[in-house]
Homo-oligomer: A and B are copies of this chain.
Amino acid sequence: MFTLHHHPFCPFSRTVRIAMGEYGMGAEFVEQRTWERRREFLEMNPANTLPVLLIGQAGRIVGLRPILEFLDETKGPSLGPRRMMPTDPYDKAEVRRLLDWFDDNFHGEVTQYLVREKIFKRFMRAEDGGGGPDTRLILAGTKNLKTHMAYISHLAVRRNWLGGDSFSYADVTAAAHLSCLDYLGDVPWDEYEQAKNWYARVKSRPSFRPLLVDQVPGMRPAASYVDLDF
């Protein structure tokens, strides 16, 4: 029995949800709003980061990278050619480089600004940092997104999937970030056709579908969000 502590619009949580879908894993989901700093969650993960995967009564895997590696180690071989982490050490290093790229750089320069300002702040109390969105941060995130879209296109032109020949965790994490921004209608798809074509292929996977059902209360998704032919 798996339990995932997550947030529907946390890109790291979304990455794990897509990966679990690929592995065919069901789970119980517990929503965490980390800005509330709930004591019981801090005891589970003092870093106060999402996601956390609980396995049975005693197993606990904390954080995105540890979860992805754990799932690959314990379930990867069962996927055969659909395994999301390559087996060659150099190919693995490239997938891991891209995980860092999206989860550190892309997140720090884009997702964090746009998702926090436009979504999370709606649910934060003033003392937790809530309030109106900071338009300077939104502008910075929007500007940085263009650089990242160019890099995704650069990779998509040269490779079958972002990390190499096969669909990998690099595609999962990149698409998870973009899916949050796509909900907001913030992705300039038409300016980056190769990135768009790559994303359409990820979006059409069954593992991606559950994400498209999530809604921010009081905030409808952009028209392109659920459309597979956006």
Give the interface of A toward B (CB within 8 A).
46-47, 49, 59, 61-63, 65-67, 69-70, 73-74, 89-90, 92-93, 96-97, 100-101, 104-105, 151
Identical copies in the complex: 2
Q: Secondary structure at chain A's binding surface: helix, strand, loop or mixed?
A: helix
Would A73 and B47 count as touching, CB distance under 8 A? no
Would A93 and B105 count as touching, CB distance under 8 A? no
Would B47 and A100 count as touching, CB distance under 8 A? yes
Which residue, of A62, A66, A67, has the highest number of chain B Cβ atoms within 10 A? A66
Min Cβ gap A32→B in Å is: 17
Min Cβ gap A59→B in Å is: 6
Min Cβ gap A57→B in Å is: 13
Would B151 and A63 count as touching, CB distance under 8 A? no
- Report, nearest first, the 9 A-B pairs whose CB atoms are least far apart: A66-B96, A66-B93, A62-B97, A61-B93, A73-B89, A70-B93, A63-B100, A66-B97, A70-B89
Would A65 and B105 count as touching, CB distance under 8 A? no
